[in-house]
Amino acid sequence: MPERIMFTMGDIASAEGALSAGCKYFGGYPITPATEIAEWMALRMPQVGGSFVQYEDEIASITSVIGASWTGVKSMTATSGPGVSLMLEAIGLAVMTETPLVLVNIMRGGPSTGQPTRGQQGDIMQAKWGSHGDYQIIALTPASVQEMFDQTVQAFNLSERYRVPVFVLADETVGHMRERLVIPDEKDLKLEYRKLAAGDPADFLPFKPDEDLIPPMALLGSKYQFYATGLTHDERGYPTDKEDVQLELVARLNNKILHNADKIIDLERFMLDDAKIAVVAYGTPSRSARKAIKEAREAGIKAGMLRLKTVWPFPEDALADLASEVKHIIVAEQNFGQVYYMVKAAAAPTPIHLMAKPAGMPQLPHEILDKIKEIDSL
Amino acid sequence: MTTAPPILKHPMVKYIREDRMPAIYCPGCSIGIVTQMVARSIDNLGLDFSKVVIVSGIGCTGRTSGYFKTGTFHTTHGRAVVFAEGVKIANPELEVIIISGDGDIAAIGGNHLIHACRRNVDMTIVCINNFTYAMTGGQFGPTTEHERFSQTSPRPIGNPEHPFNLVQLAASSGATFVARWTATQVRRATASIEKGIVKKGLSFVEIVGACPTAYGRMNRLGDGLDMHKHLLKVAEIQNGLPPHEAELDYDRRIVCGEFVNMEKDEYTAVLKQMREKLRK
Ligand SMILES: Cc1ncc(C[n+]2csc(CCOP(=O)(O)OP(=O)(O)O)c2C)c(N)n1
Ligand code: SF4
Ligand SMILES: [Mg+2]
């Protein structure tokens, strides 16, 4: 399809991003503020020859997505915090079986049912640590309608490349805001697809990684037979309780992401080159921070922003570098402090100041400006 | 010099991962018998085995998928049916068979079972009902009879709950083919699994089986042989009986047969029609 221009909301941009990435399977369950993604997919999926299925709950939704992905179809689900909480066990299964899938979480107020129609960024740690055991996922944090599209495409690419669940973590404000969206001509999009099993089926080992730590994937219904299990398994896919296999597998599942962190992480440096005070933000608060920084500059304060477009794997090195460039770091996030602790660990001993706000209205530009001025006067 | 006699191979071994033998099952367990029923069904139908997908949840029965030499998946506990729905809907060309236990299918996965039946996705569920959560050591589950003993309903307390009748549950939820057999009625059960596979719609086949190690021991039902002899004795064939009359009373009477075989729009076919409607 040639380039298209829409004036639309973040949720719909994300759905269109998925379709542009070649997603042909959506399994979901309605939940505010992510419902619009399902509603859009209900009409659009059959148009593109794909499947939209409304399941009985989020556990069913994501588990069906894992099943669909193993047939070779790019697959996704979309939900919000309560739904992600239900999906956590299956996320572990997807990690363990190295299943490419995309999970869009339009973050609402929590804990529990919280404030369904109000935004928050309270699910950052959940995305990384929610399922049991030690593992890595990838999580992207868009801040505009265009980025909802672009980063959903990117989420599919990363999930295919690394055979890992990828989260699009957008706060409700980004999910529901309306802006101009440019959907590029399909031939201008760079799309990736998982490495597939090749060679003699008799010699095939379904979980034997290549040098890049990622095993080529066999699909259900192909000439390659395999057993995939959430149990700790060897290269044949067979369960084992041997300690060396457990150590090797867990290390590989983590390292295939951590060793490629440089290639995965996407950051924006805004007015940072001579900055003395840096704001670290992502999603909606980063939009306020941008305005605050411009105003601080007008007032003669050398402020800048490191905007995280990727929160997992966490950009530790970039934060350590930032700490050596600036005198103070302000972390502005719409929660009680989550990325803050990661920044603290990476950027010590530079003073880190938390602007926490676990509520629907993000930090406003003048509030961030006041904080910058306060820090500047220290 | 005498030559060693040729080693005879089991005719179904071509479907099985020989390198994973022996299986984990206890002596006297029904699960091996049911594994063979499924293999024989596939063989009798002459299916292209590479297009067959076998899915299980967690439990002793849940280990079954791992012994088949095709595309197989061992999901989380209770989620075999929904994983399978994703597979079938994304690629309707595949023949999807689910083999799992009563706990996996009717307790933790019970919600998925009823909704898959309602949706009528073309898949075959083979549920081994051994009246217990065997893998975890034999606690009572959704099919355990009232007052039976288990690790969580110990003597002299007994099970405070009442069981589901899986045939009634699947039938009332909308499954288009529903049957029940015991593990001792191998030929009839195999024929029903075949019919279930051929049926364009959701098929549910319950196999009442023996778990001598947990359920049998705690309820003093004898060893595997005793339990299977008992199953054969109390099995009463009543093909075509309305599902609500398909009684299951372990001591007295286990009504077996095919109870539902009806036509209803199949889900993946409906999705296909919808896509075509939009293309016009
Ligand atoms: C979420 C979760 N809860 C509990 C368990 C523990 N568990 C493993 S198998 C099982 C019961 C299996 O019972 P059933 O499905 O009847 O299979 P059987 O072992 O009797 O064949 C349970 C409770 C688990 N693996 N996952
Ligand atoms: S514990 Fe029971 S169900 Fe499990 S393998 Fe042993 S006999 Fe079979
Ligand atoms: Mg059981």
Residues A183-187, mean pLDDT to the nearest whole number = 96
A136, pLDDT greater than 80:
yes
Give mean pLDDT, residues B13-29.
96
Where on the phi/psi map is residue A138: left (φ > 0), alpha (ψ -120 to 50), or beta? Answer: beta
Q: At residue B279, does pLDDT exceed 90? A: no
Cβ pair B72:A228 closer than 8 A: yes
Nearest CA in chain B to A227: B72
Residue B11 lies in a domain: no
Quote the number of domains for chain B. Answer: 1
Contact yes or no for B49/B67 (Cβ under 8 A):
no
Pairwise CA distance, residues B237 & B34, whole Å: 19
- Taking the CA of residue A231 and the nearest CA in chain B, the distance in Å comes to 8
Q: What does the pLDDT read at residue B129? A: 98
Q: pLDDT category, A1, cuts 50, 70, 90?
A: confident
CB of B183 closer than 8 Å to CB of B209:
yes
* DSSP calls for A10-44: HHHHHHHHHHHTT--EEEE---TTTHHHHHHHHHH
Burial class for B22, CB neighbours closer than 10 Å (0-12, 13-18, 19+): exposed
Whether A73 sits inside 8 A of B72 (CB atoms) is: no
The Cα of A222 is separated from the nearest Cα of chain B by a number of Å equal to 6
**Domain locations along chain A:** 4-188, 269-376
Q: Are the beta carbons of B87 and A71 separated by less than 8 Å?
A: yes
Res. B2 pLDDT band, cuts 50 70 90:
confident
Helices (H), chain B: 31-45, 80-90, 102-103, 110-119, 166-173, 186-198, 217-218, 224-234, 267-279
Are the C-beta atoms of B125 and B207 separated by less than 8 Å? no
B192, part of any domain: yes
What six digits make up the tokens of A304? 């800048």
CATH for B254? 3.40.50.970
Distance between CA A99 and CA A75 in Å, rounded? 10
Residue B162 lies in a domain: yes
CA distance B45 to chain A (A): 17
Q: Are strands B123-129 and B95-101 parallel, antiparallel or unpaired?
A: parallel
Q: What is the bridge-based pairing of β-strands A101-109 and A115-119?
A: antiparallel
Domain that holds residue B115: 21-279
Atom of ligand 2 minimally distant from the CA of B130: 3
**Which of B51, B91, B111 has the most A C-beta neighbours within 10 Å, making it the best mutation to test the interface with A?**
B91
Of A48, A45, A47, A46, give the one whose Cα is nearest residue A78: A45
Q: How many CB atoms lie within 10 A of CB A46?
A: 20
User: What are the distances in angstroms from CA A151 to CA A102, A164, A167, A305?
Assistant: 11, 16, 10, 20
Q: What's the average model confidence in pLDDT over B3-30?
A: 94
pLDDT in tens, A44-84: 999 999 999 999 999 999 999 999 999 999 999 999 999 99
Residues 188-227, chain A, touching B (beta carbon < 8 A): 218-227
SS3 B122: coil
Q: Does a structural domain hold residue B151? A: yes
CB of B130 within 6 A of ligand 1: the answer is yes
For residue range B35-57, what is the model confidence (pLDDT) as tens digits?
999 999 999 999 999 999 999 99
Mean pLDDT, residues A176-180? 98
Distance, CA B215 to ligand 3 centroid (Å)? 9
**Among A24, A56, A63, beta carbon nearest to B111:** A56
Q: What percent of chain B has pLDDT over 90?
A: 96
Q: How far apart are CA B175 and CA A281, in angstroms?
A: 51
What was the ipTM of the complex prediction?
0.97
β-strand partners of A229:
B74
DSSP label of A143: -
Percent of chain A with pLDDT over 70: 100
* Token pair 């100041």: residue: A353
Please, what is the average pLDDT of chain A?
98
A368 has a pLDDT exceeding 90: yes
Q: Pairing state of beta strands A25-28 and A165-171?
A: unpaired
| A271 min Cα distance to partner chain B (Å) | 47
Q: Which phi and psi angles does A261 have, rounded to 5°? A: -55, -40
Quick one: pLDDT band at residue A249, thresholds 50, 70, 90?
Answer: very high
Predicted confidence (pLDDT) per residue in B126-179, tens digit = 999 999 999 999 999 999 999 999 999 999 999 999 999 999 999 999 999 999
**How many angstroms separate the CA atoms of A61 and B240, rounded?**
35
User: What pLDDT, on the 0 to 100 scale, is given for residue B1?
Assistant: 65
**DSSP element (H, E) containing A264:** helix A261-264
Q: pLDDT-derived band of residue A338, with 50, 70 and 90 as boundaries?
A: very high
Phi and psi at A333, nearest 5°, equal: -140, 155
CB A287 within 8 A of CB A367: no
* Cβ <8 Å between A221 and B65: no
Section B60-66 average pLDDT: 97
Closest CA to B242 of B260, B227, B228: B260
Q: What is the mean pLDDT of chain B?
A: 97
User: Is residue B114 included in any domain, yes or no?
Assistant: yes
Give the chain B residue whose CA is nearest to the CA of A49. B275
Tell how far the Cα of B54 is from the centroid of ligand 3, in angstroms.
18
Length of chain A: 378
Q: Is the predicted pLDDT of residue B71 greater than 90, yes or no?
A: yes
What is the fold of A4-188?
A: Rossmann fold (3.40.50)
Pick A67's closest partner by Cβ from B86, B115, B275: B86
CATH number of A269-376: 3.40.50.920
| Interface contact B89-A65, CB threshold 8 A | no
**Residue A205 CB neighbours (<10 A):** 16
